[in-house]
């Protein structure tokens, strides 16, 4: 089979859907199939909306490269004439209910049909990005089987649009991350026969310590020693990820304790910068914005951490929970979205917005090491049973093969 994947970014760009796409493509390719990826030549999310400065161009992505045997075509993002673009966007969004707010690539749209017509399966990713509309239309015109992995954030206003549910119904298979997401789509009228739960995955053998002692030396600049309790946030520091809730809980904890530090890891944005700048100098000594970490340092940090906290309002899965378990780190998530169905008995959840409960559960796990490690064991069992990339890739390949056979 030849599979055409269409996604907003592809690694080395960092993101949950980007990594999921890459890992599945690698497995499908390894099994002897021809795999093509159509994407934009964007590395960082900020480049969706504006040109990066020369100082930010730490990585330049060419028009075509190979990831192993996977052909990756990268297209130039189109810069809109903003006053025209926003007028069209406002009409589509407010009147027709269609979310069409970038990033766009006219170059990719023009060339997409010629790529799709030579493929057997079209696999599109990541609502609410507008390439999903274009790819489904093109695939329908070419009479190809269509798979979508929407990474849907149930309840989020950018996702909860009638146009997206229509789009999903037009696809032949819908790959969802959790039973929670599947049940939501069934309630919205999506046929259960089209819905396949895979989850996300990890490669456990990758999550080993490397240069660990050197990494711990790096932490000394934050006044962190072996006795310091570490609570880590790992992800985009946006409002829906609950970064403000973790900071609020941290401030309450710091009223009584000085043996706990909170490390906030991931890309920033103006909303977070304003929030963080409101902290006092003393608070910033314990609530620390680490910024980006490379993969080696991220893994070492998870091994060193006592607790990973992801208090998101919207989460289609939460791959960082799997990463934490593999690194022997306990987890806390919110009770919203798919998180409880992913965490199961591998950690604790709290009522989203309840800072007192979040505070209490952080302290409870920090002070009950035996319990937290029992939860980690449960989490590792879940990874082994359901959430390795080979299992995910095998499930996706079975979906492709079923669709390919049904058209013959």
Residue count of the chain:
408
- Is residue 184 located within the same domain as residue 216? no
C-alpha torsion angle, residues 327, 16, 202, 33 (rounded to 10): -160
51 pLDDT band, cuts 50/70/90, is low
Name which of 49-58, 151-160, 294-303 the model is least confident about: 49-58
pLDDT for the residue numbered 297: 95
Q: pLDDT band at 102, cuts 50/70/90?
A: confident
- The model's pTM is 0.83
Find, among 202, 22, 265, the residue nearest to 126 by Cα: 22
Tens of pLDDT, residues 354-374? 999 999 999 999 999 999 999
Task: Name the token pair of 339.
Answer: 């998180």
Whether 251 and 369 share a structural domain? yes
Encode pLDDT of 192-241 as tens digits: 999 999 999 999 999 999 999 999 999 999 999 999 999 999 988 988 89
Statement to judge: residues 393 and 319 lie in one domain: no
Q: Using CA atoms of 112, 118, 122, 124 in order, give the dihedral in degrees to the nearest 10.
A: -20
Task: Please give the pLDDT value at position 42.
Answer: 84
Give the 3-state DSSP-derived string for 332-345, with helices as H, strands as E and coil as C. EEECCCCHHHHHCC
Q: Do 382 and 356 share a structural domain?
A: yes
Q: Are residues 163 and 278 in the same domain?
A: no
Average pLDDT on 241-248 reads 94
- Pair 221, 362 in one domain: yes
**Residue 89: which pLDDT band, with cuts at 50, 70 and 90?**
low
More confident residue, 202 or 86: 202
**Cα 260 from Cα 262, distance rounded (Å):** 7
pLDDT class for 13, splitting at 50, 70, 90?
confident
Taking only the tens place, the pLDDT of each residue in 207-221 is: 999 999 999 999 999
What is the pLDDT, as a whole number, of residue 264? 97
Please choose, from the candidates 364, 358, 230, 253, the residue with its C-alpha nearest in 3D space to the C-alpha of residue 305.
230
Strand partners, 3: 35, 121
Quick one: 176 and 228 in the same domain? no
Domain, as residue range, for 337: 204-386
Tell me the DSSP string of 186-207: HHTT--GGGEEE----B-GGG-
Instruction: Tell me the average pLDDT of the chain.
Output: 90
Residue 314: its pLDDT value, please? Answer: 84
Q: What are 327's two structure tokens?
A: 């690194």
DSSP H stretches of helix in 204-292: 212-219, 243-253, 270-277, 281-284
382 and 392 part of one domain: no
Grade residue 302 by pLDDT with cuts at 50, 70 and 90.
Answer: very high
Res 58 pLDDT > 60:
no
Q: Average the pLDDT over each of 45-49, 107-111, 114-118 and give the range with the smallest value.
A: 45-49
- Same domain, yes or no, for 268 and 376? yes
Cα maximum dimension of the chain: 68
Q: pLDDT class for 406, splitting at 50, 70, 90? A: confident
Residues 262, 136 share a domain: no
Does one domain contain both 60 and 148?
A: yes
What is the full DSSP assignment across 115-152?
HHTT-SEEEEE-TT-THHHHHHHHHHHTT-EEEEE---
What was the pLDDT predicted at 52? 62
Q: Which of 264, 258, 227 is nearest to 244 (CA)?
A: 264
Three-class DSSP category at 269: coil
pLDDT for res 78: 82
Which distant-in-sequence residues (6+ apart) come within 8 Å of 277 by Cβ? none
The distance of Cα 345 from the centroid of its chain, to the nearest Å, equals: 22
Collect all residues with Cβ–Cβ distance below 8 Å to 229 and sequence separation of at least 6. Answer: 259, 260, 261, 306, 307, 366
Output the pLDDT for position 337.
Answer: 85
Residue 82 has pLDDT above 90, yes or no: no
Identify the pLDDT of residue 1. Answer: 94
Q: Are 21 and 125 in contact (CB under 8 A)?
A: yes
The answer to whether 90 and 123 are in contact (CB under 8 A) is no
What pLDDT, on the 0 to 100 scale, is given for residue 70? Answer: 95
Same domain assignment for residues 227 and 95: no
| Structure-model confidence comparison of residues 176 and 88, the more confident one | 176
Q: How many domains does the chain have?
A: 2
Q: Mean pLDDT throughout 263-275?
A: 91
Q: What is the per-residue pLDDT for 283?
A: 95
- Residue 2 gets the label, from left (phi > 0), alpha (psi -120 to 50) or beta, of beta
315 vs 298, more confident: 298
For the cut 80, the answer to whether the pLDDT of residue 47 exceeds it is: no
If pLDDT is split at 50, 70 and 90, which confidence band does 57 have?
Answer: low
pLDDT exceeds cutoff 70 at 253: yes
CATH number for 309: 3.40.50.2000
DSSP state of 154: T
Rg for the chain (alpha carbons), in Å?
22
Cα separation, 71 vs 362, in Å, equals 45
Q: Are 154 and 19 in contact (CB under 8 A)?
A: no
Query: Strands of 330-334's sheet, edge to edge?
Result: 287-291, 260-265, 229-234, 307-310, 330-334, 348-350
pLDDT at 352 over 90: yes
Q: What is the pLDDT of residue 238?
A: 85
């Amino acid at each position: 089979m030849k599979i055409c994947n269409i996604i907003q970014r592809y690694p080395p760009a960092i993101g949950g859907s980007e990594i999921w796409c890459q890992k599945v493509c690698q497995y499908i390719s390894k099994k002897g199939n021809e795999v093509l990826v159509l994407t934009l030549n964007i590395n960082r999310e900020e480049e969706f909306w504006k040109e990066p400065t020369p100082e930010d161009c730490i990585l330049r992505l060419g028009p075509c490269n190979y990831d192993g045997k996977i052909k990756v075509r990268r297209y130039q993002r189109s810069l809109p004439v903003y006053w025209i673009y926003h007028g069209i966007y406002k009409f589509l969004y407010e009147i027709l209910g269609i979310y069409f707010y970038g990033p766009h690539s006219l170059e990719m749209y023009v060339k997409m049909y010629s790529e799709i017509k030579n493929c057997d399966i079209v696999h599109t990713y990541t609502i609410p990005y507008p390439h999903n509309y274009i790819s489904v239309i093109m695939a329908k015109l070419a009479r190809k089987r269509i798979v979508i992995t929407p990474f849907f954030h149930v309840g989020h206003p950018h996702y909860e649009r009638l146009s997206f549910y229509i789009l999903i119904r037009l696809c032949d298979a819908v790959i969802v991350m959790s039973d929670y997401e599947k049940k939501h789509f069934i309630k919205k009228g999506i046929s259960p026969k089209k819905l396949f739960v895979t989850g996300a995955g990890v490669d456990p053998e990758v999550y080993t310590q490397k240069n660990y002692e050197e990494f711990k030396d790096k932490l000394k600049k934050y006044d962190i020693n072996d006795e310091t309790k570490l609570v880590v946030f790992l992800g985009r520091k946006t409002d829906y990820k609950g970064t403000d809730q973790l900071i609020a809980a941290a401030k309450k904890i710091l009223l009584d304790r000085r043996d706990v530090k909170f490390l906030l890891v991931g890309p920033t944005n103006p909303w977070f910068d304003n929030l963080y700048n409101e902290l006092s100098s003393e608070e910033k000594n314990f609530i620390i914005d680490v910024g980006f970490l490379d993969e080696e340092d991220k893994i070492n940090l998870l091994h060193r951490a006592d607790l990973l906290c992801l208090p998101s309002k919207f989460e289609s899965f939460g791959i960082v929970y799997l990463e934490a378990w593999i690194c022997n780190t306990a987890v806390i998530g919110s009770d919203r979205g798919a998180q409880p169905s992913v965490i199961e008995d591998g950690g604790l959840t709290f009522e989203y917005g309840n800072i007192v409960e979040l505070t209490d559960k952080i302290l409870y796990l920090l002070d009950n090491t035996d319990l937290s490690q029992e939860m980690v064991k449960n989490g590792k069992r879940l990874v082994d049973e359901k959430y390795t990339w080979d299992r995910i890739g095998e499930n996706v390949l079975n979906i492709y093969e079923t669709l390919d056979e049904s058209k013959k």
